[in-house]
Amino acid sequence: MDRKEWLKISAALGFGAMLPKEILAQLAEEGIKRSDFGDDFVWGTATAAYQIEGGWNLDGKGESVWDHFTHFKKNKIKTRENGDVSCDFYHQYENDIKLMKSMNIPAFRFSIAWSRVLPNGTGEVNQKGIEFYNKVIDCCLQNGVEPWVTLYHWDLQQALQEKGGWANREVIKWFENFVEIASRAFGDRVKKWMVFNEPMAFVPLGYLLGIHAPGKINFSDFYKSVHHVVMCHGAGGRILRKNVPNAVIGTTFSCSPVDAWMDKKANQESRKRGDAMINRLFIEPILGMGYPVKDLPPLKKIKKHMKPGDEELMKFDFDFIGLQNYSRTVTKALAIVPIVKGINVPAKKLGHDITEMGWEVYPEGMYRIIKQFAAYKNMPRIYVTENGVAFKDELVNGEINDTKRIQFLKDYLAQILRAKKEGINVGGYFIWSFIDNFEWAEGYKTRFGLVAFDPATQKRTVKASGKWYSEFLRK
Active site residue 386: yes
The Cα–Cα gap between 179 and 193 comes to: 11
Interacting residues of 42 by C-beta distance below 8 A, sequence separation 6+: 106, 107, 146, 383, 427, 428, 429, 430
Give the N- to C-terminal CA distance of the chain in Å, as an integer. 10
Q: Dihedral (C-alpha) 233, 126, 156, 181: value to the nearest 10 degrees? A: 0
Q: What is residue 147's three-state secondary structure?
A: strand
Strand segments (E) across 4-71: 42-46
Sheet holding 258-260, edge to edge: 258-260, 329-333, 342-344
- The topology (CATH level 3) of 3-473 is TIM Barrel (3.20.20)
Contact in structure between 170 and 126 (CB atoms under 8 Å): no
What backbone torsions phi and psi does residue 139 show, to the nearest 5 degrees? -65, -40
pLDDT of residue 30: 58
> Residues 183, 108, 143, 245: is their CA dihedral positive or negative?
negative
The Cα–Cα gap between 221 and 448 comes to: 31
The Cα–Cα gap between 309 and 229 comes to: 16
Nearest of 93, 2, 8, 23 to residue 467 by alpha carbon: 23
Nearest of 30, 9, 107 to residue 473 by alpha carbon: 107
pLDDT of residue 11: 41
Beta bridge partners of 430: 44
pLDDT of residue 245: 97
Q: Can you give the pLDDT of all 475 residues of the chain as single tens digits?
A: 443 443 344 444 444 344 444 544 454 445 689 999 999 999 999 999 999 999 999 999 999 999 999 999 999 999 999 999 999 999 999 999 999 999 999 999 999 999 999 999 988 999 999 999 999 999 999 999 999 999 999 999 999 999 999 999 999 999 999 999 999 999 999 999 999 999 999 999 999 999 999 999 999 999 999 999 999 999 999 999 999 999 999 999 999 999 999 978 899 999 999 999 999 999 999 999 999 999 999 999 999 999 999 999 999 999 999 999 999 999 999 999 999 999 999 999 998 999 999 999 999 999 999 999 999 999 999 999 999 999 999 999 999 999 999 999 999 999 999 999 999 999 999 999 999 999 999 999 999 999 999 999 999 999 999 999 999 999 7
The Cα–Cα gap between 473 and 475 comes to: 6
39-60 core/surface letters (b: 16 or more CB in 10 A; e: else): eebbbbbbbbbbbbbbbbeeee
Active-site residue, selected from the candidate residues 63, 360, 386, 439: 386
> Residues 116, 172, 229, 197: is their CA dihedral positive or negative?
negative
Beta bridge partners of 111: 150
Nearest of 6, 92, 202, 20 to residue 435 by alpha carbon: 92
The Cα–Cα gap between 313 and 154 comes to: 23
The Cα–Cα gap between 475 and 1 comes to: 10
Contact in structure between 193 and 237 (CB atoms under 8 Å): no
- Helix H or strand E segment including 26: helix 21-30
The Cα–Cα gap between 161 and 151 comes to: 17
The Cα–Cα gap between 37 and 361 comes to: 23
The Cα–Cα gap between 216 and 124 comes to: 28
In the DSSP assignment, the letter for residue 434 is S
pLDDT of residue 3: 39
What backbone torsions phi and psi does residue 335 show, to the nearest 5 degrees? -60, -25
Contact in structure between 33 and 468 (CB atoms under 8 Å): no
Nearest of 241, 239, 221 to residue 229 by alpha carbon: 221
Active-site residue, selected from the candidate residues 198, 269, 360, 394: 198
The Cα–Cα gap between 203 and 280 comes to: 14
pLDDT of residue 263: 79
The Cα–Cα gap between 455 and 453 comes to: 6
The Cα–Cα gap between 461 and 109 comes to: 20
Instruction: Evaluate if pTM is beyond 0.75.
Output: yes
How do beta strands 451-453 and 320-324 pair? unpaired
Active site residue 176: no
The Cα–Cα gap between 148 and 112 comes to: 11
